[in-house]
Amino acid sequence: MSDADDPVIPLGARSIADAVAGGTFSAEQVVRAHLDGLEERDATVHAFLTVTAERALADAEAVDARVAAGVDPGPLAGVPVALKDNLCTRGIETTCASKILEGWKPPYDATVVERLRAAGAVTIGKANMDEFAMGSSCENSAFGPTRNPREPSRVPGGSSGGSAAVVAAGFAPLALGSDTGGSIRQPAALCGVVGVKPTYGAVSRYGLVAFASSLDQIGPFAGDVADAALLLETIAGHDERDSTSIPDGAPEISIHLDDGVDGLRVGVVTDLLGDGIAGDVAARVRAAAEALSAAGADVGEVEIPELAYGLSAYYLIAPAEASSNLARFDGVRYGLRVDAPTTAEMMVATRTAGFGPEVKRRIMLGTYALSAGYYDAYYGKALKVRTRICRAFERAYADFDVLLTPTSPTTAFELGATTDPLAMYLNDVCTIPSNLAGHPAMSVPFGVGDNGLPVGVQILAPALGEVPMFRAAAALEEATR
Amino acid sequence: MTERITRDDVAHVARLANLALDDDELTTMTGQLAAVLDHAADVEALELDGVEPTTHPLPLRNVWREDVVGATLDRDEVLAAAPAVDQDRFEVPAILGGEP
């Protein structure tokens, strides 16, 4: 049976949950349909590093038992979900797409994984990614790249490229990723799905393998805006096991999706529509602004020249934090060990064999930026740029409720085409500022570029501005229907 | 390109980071790090005098949990993931050199 004939695959998360709760489909039927689909087609896409079919079918049976017993099976009853492979799953291999963690089975579940299961969702596997979430194309995976399901010669974006590809290919209606400088939004844009980076602190990071702790957030991928809202509501909320978890980070979003955008003040960031942004992408952002205006929003233009400097600040701050976070991979407690006569030599041998080139580059860059004599010139200065960006956003949000930019400067690029690290980093110019400020931002598909590939439009909001952000997203989605 | 970072700097940083780089990697890495640092110089255009640094998006304070006994990770499960274990401990090669 091809996917087109399958009654389950084209359904989104809400429809599946309703159908499972109402008895139209069993959770087992839903999960089997998705497992069959990915078994047939993931050989080409390579979105998954691990598929946990047996576990998923057992979990689906448990959901069906709840339905049969008349117990509420939860808002995501029977909905298959893929997890980025930097989210810890107890007893299930969690690699961060790195040889240094190959074979590692965590002794605990991430909080988001617990919350998904409590909501009736069925996790079906671990999605490919750039090693330790460092990359914008999914080509830095130690286990081979993921291909863009829309056009297999192209990258899916990164670092959460596997998660984006899962949703775009219909392998699961939902996936979780992590976003440190755009790693959810950029692959969402390149794959033509919805991707959300929530407010910093809104979603617990307990069980997320840390990359850059002042920037990392977990967030949803979905096929539409309402499914993304539902998934975010499921995973958001305070968790005492994450000391950066905030108390009021879980607003009700779904009930506001039909509120419309009448009077919503939308600022088009003109600085991010010129140099370095492809013309076809910029044109879609302008079209999105017109669509929001037609839907009743007050659309204006805003200049925020500081945002362009976010890239420079980010590529010092994130590697600095990474160089510290990744010091824990030393061959002592988990993962790879390369034997050597002394512990010091063992650690060097293990890290040298276990980390890939991009991870080494970031560790080196970060170590340098933090080292004696260079701290003030690089890291210290980057932290001041971060302050300037936060202040610039504050000024913009005095006049606007949300801001509009491209998500990525281009549509999906060819696999293997970008070999210069700096050129790859430039892909993140539009997404980085929200991470530096701790603000929410999301990418919504809005048509295609000149090559027929998806274009994502990015909506930015101030901290805890998820509701206006999703209202704008829902209006954009409505305009494309 | 300015000599923003030298090959010797890179070799020093590799030692700090517990990474071994061969000659080719040192050359490549020097060029690539220099390119990123050159790009980062664009922030010279921003006025930063007197600007406070931002290390974190939240005004963080220490967070304490209640001092009560709770569940911890299963010790056997944790040790099962380690490359080498001696009884209830992580085992490592000699710390000071020579035979253990």
Cβ contact A387–B53 (<8 Å): yes
In order, the DSSP letters of A359-391 are HHHHHHHHHHHHSTTTTIIIIIHHHHHHHHHHH
Domain count, chain A: 1
| Structural domain includes residue A221 | yes
Residue B99 has pLDDT above 80, yes or no: no
CB < 8 Å to A367, chain B: 13, 16-17
| Structural domain includes residue A105 | yes
Can you give the residue ranges of every domain in chain B?
A: 7-44
Which tokens go with A322? 């990474």
pLDDT of residue B32: 96
| Alpha helices by DSSP H, A149-198 | 161-169, 185-191
CB < 8 Å to B21, chain A: 352, 360
Within a 10 A sphere around the Cβ of B98, how many other Cβ atoms? 7
CB < 8 Å to A102, chain B: none
Question: Chain B: residue nearest A321 by CA?
Answer: B55
Residues of A carrying an active site annotation: 84, 159, 183
Cβ–Cβ < 8 Å for A289, A404: yes
Buried (b) or exposed (e) across A256-282, using 16+ Cβ within 10 A? bbeeebeebbbbbbebbbeeebbebbb
Cβ contact A367–B13 (<8 Å): yes
Please work out, in degrees rounded to the nearest 5, the angle formed at the alpha carbon of residue B19 by the alpha carbons of B15 and B22.
Answer: 95
- What is d(CA A34, CA A9) in angstroms, rounded to the nearest whole number? 7
| Structural domain includes residue A349 | no
Cβ–Cβ < 8 Å for A343, B95: yes
In this predicted model, what pLDDT tens digit does every residue of A38-50 receive, in sequence order? 999 999 999 999 9
Mean pLDDT lowest among A87-101, A338-352, B49-63? B49-63
| Structural domain includes residue A385 | no
pLDDT of residue A8: 67
pLDDT of residue A7: 65
CB < 8 Å to B42, chain A: 308-309, 312
Q: Which domain holds residue A186?
A: 3-256
Cβ–Cβ < 8 Å for A214, A273: no
**CB-based contacts of A182: which residues, under 8 Å, 6+ apart?**
A136, A197, A407, A408, A427, A428, A430, A431, A432, A435
**For the whole prediction, is pTM greater than 0.80?**
yes
- Measured in angstroms, the CA of A104 and the nearest CA of chain B are apart by 6
In this predicted model, what pLDDT tens digit does every residue of B16-70 receive, in sequence order? 999 999 999 999 999 999 999 999 999 888 999 999 999 999 887 788 888 999 8
Residue A1 has pLDDT above 50, yes or no: no
> Among candidates A76, A468, A79, A436, which has minimal Cα distance to A251?
A468
| Facing B43 at nearest CB: one of A312, A340, A347 | A312
Cβ contact A347–B84 (<8 Å): no
| Structural domain includes residue A117 | yes
Q: Which helix (H) or strand (E) segment is B10 a member of?
A: helix B7-16
pLDDT of residue A105: 97
- What is d(CA A462, CA A466) in angstroms, rounded to the nearest whole number? 8
Question: Chain A: residue nearest B44 by CA?
Answer: A381
**Bridge-based pairing state of the strands A402-406 and A441-448:** unpaired
Cβ–Cβ < 8 Å for A457, A223: no
| Structural domain includes residue A262 | no
Cβ–Cβ < 8 Å for A123, A89: yes
- Measured in angstroms, the CA of B2 and the nearest CA of chain A are apart by 16
Q: Report the sign of the C-alpha dihedral through residues A133, A134, A136, A139, in that order.
A: negative
Cβ contact B13–A371 (<8 Å): yes
In this predicted model, what pLDDT tens digit does every residue of A253-300 receive, in sequence order? 999 999 999 999 999 999 999 999 999 999 999 999 999 999 999 999
- What is d(CA A251, CA A254) in angstroms, rounded to the nearest whole number? 9
CB < 8 Å to B51, chain A: 384, 387-388
- Measured in angstroms, the CA of A277 and the nearest CA of chain B are apart by 18
Cβ contact B94–A343 (<8 Å): yes
In this predicted model, what pLDDT tens digit does every residue of A160-207 receive, in sequence order? 999 999 999 999 999 999 999 999 999 999 999 999 999 999 999 999
List the CATH number of the domain containing A191.
3.90.1300.10
Best mutation target, A242, A381, A389, A428, to test chain B (most B CBs within 10 A): A381
Confidence of residue A70 (pLDDT cuts 50, 70, 90): very high
Cβ contact B43–A382 (<8 Å): yes
- Measured in angstroms, the CA of A295 and the nearest CA of chain B are apart by 33
Cβ contact B40–A378 (<8 Å): yes
What is the pLDDT averaged over residues B69-81? 93
Cβ contact A309–B10 (<8 Å): no
In this predicted model, what pLDDT tens digit does every residue of A296-334 receive, in sequence order? 999 999 999 999 999 999 999 999 999 999 999 999 999
| Structural domain includes residue A67 | yes
- State the maximum Cα–Cα separation within chain A, in Å, rounded to a whole number: 70
Question: Chain A: residue nearest B35 by CA?
Answer: A422
